[in-house]
Amino acid sequence: MMKFNDSNTPLHLLAADYPIPYNIPQKKHIIKKLFQVLNYLEKVTPANLIDVKTKSVIINKAKINENTTMPSSDFRLSSYEWGVTYAGLLRFGEVTALETFSEYTIKRLMMISDLSQFYINNENVKVDEKSPVYTVLKPAALDDSGAICAAMIKAQLNNPKLKLSPLIDNFIDFISNKQFRFKDGTLARNRPYSNTLWLDDLFMSVPALALMGKLTNEEKYFNDAVHQVNKFSERMFVEEKGLYFHGWVEKMDPHPKYYWGRANGWAVMALIELLSILPKSHKGYNSVLKQFNKHLNGLISYQS
């Protein structure tokens, strides 16, 4: 068997000897892998409402009642994690023109909408805190509202017939008017300490606000999205490193700096979403683009 070395084969043409082979993936392989993921998700996250007492599937929306819920699932279908999943599958459906991926999202968003609408239409029926739509109807944090709201707006923009506006409006009302903010308008939390910023919240707010600006053509949503980027960056972006640190607590001095990779990922995605929607004529566009480039250059410098 021939032994490859630099005398008979240019080293730069040899495949790297990594535990997991590093290759440029082909489109067909990506699609094949994502179909495997989709098939798995279809099995473990069913999209039919059921009657808790009879365990029967509810086909007729008119029969939805206080005993109606979502079927047992391996994942929480109204969580922020699944909001990200919904948006990802919508995007993949757009890029590949394979509606199967978009349909996964639409079916589950409509299931959430149908169950939520029952409680909206029947105010005398109290939604249980254990209900999968409790946080949809009564969001109490950006994690409850931002990512899934963004996914709903994307679905609504793609298909105006979905009629997701009641839930979208409820989420946006929470983000814009009810979520705790600093006096300067920065979206913040009071956990684990009072007056705290989590970098995660850039993603849990900015995309939804930007998309709402696109949906309604109201500039106030674009302005708020840009404002969040500017204020988070003022407090949490470290120029020398080109990175954000994860948490900022107002009363701490000095501020500990932990450069969590996942949180920096949330920030990158938030700015990508905003820049893809924000009109280039908007007064804040250039500042957001400049911040995005600084962050990307910082991340690149740490890549091995």
| pLDDT digit string, tens, across residues 253-276 | 999 999 999 999 999 999 999 999
Residue 104 near residue 73 (C-beta atoms within 8 A): no
Answer whether residue 32 shows pLDDT above 80: yes
**pLDDT of amino acid 8:** 76
Q: Is the full-model pTM beyond 0.85? A: yes
**Distance (Å, whole) CA 154 – CA 149:** 9
State yes or no: pLDDT of 10 exceeds 80. Answer: no
pLDDT of residue 304: 75
d(CA 106, CA 93): 11
Scan for tokens 């932990």, then name that residue. 258
Q: Which residue has the tokens 């979208």?
A: 168
Question: Residues 272-294: pLDDT tens digits?
Answer: 999 999 999 999 999 999 999 99
Angle at which helices 206-216 and 261-277 pack, to 10 degrees?
10
Confidence of residue 3 (pLDDT cuts 50, 70, 90): confident
The pLDDT score that the predictor gives to residue 93 is: 97
C-beta of residue 228 within 8 angstroms of C-beta of residue 202: yes
Which two three-digit tokens encode residue 114? 């149908």
Tell whether the model's pLDDT for residue 11 goes beyond 80. no
- Retrieve residue 115's tokens: 């169950």
- How much is the average pLDDT of 101-122? 98
pLDDT beyond 90 at 221: yes
Give backbone dihedrals phi and psi of 196, rounded to 5 degrees, phi first.
-120, 140
- Contacts with 44 (C-beta within 8 Å, 6 or more apart), sequence order: 73, 74, 75
pLDDT digits (tens, 9 = 90+) for 51-108: 999 989 999 999 999 999 999 999 999 999 999 999 999 999 999 999 999 999 999 9
Comparing 121 with 21, the larger pLDDT belongs to: 121
Q: What is the mean pLDDT of residues 108-137?
A: 97
Q: Return the structure tokens found at 225.
A: 């999205």
Helices H, strands E: what count in the chain? 11, 6
Q: Does residue 138 register a pLDDT over 80?
A: yes
8 Å CB contact between 215 and 224? no
Omega of the bond prior to 139 within 30 degrees of 0, cis? no
Q: Confidence class of residue 22 from pLDDT cuts 50, 70 and 90? A: confident
User: Does 43 or 303 have the greater pLDDT score?
Assistant: 43
User: Which residue has 């922020």 as its token pair?
Assistant: 80
Q: Whose CA is closest to 229, among 184, 181, 270?
A: 270
Other Cβ atoms less than 10 A from the Cβ of 263: the count is 22
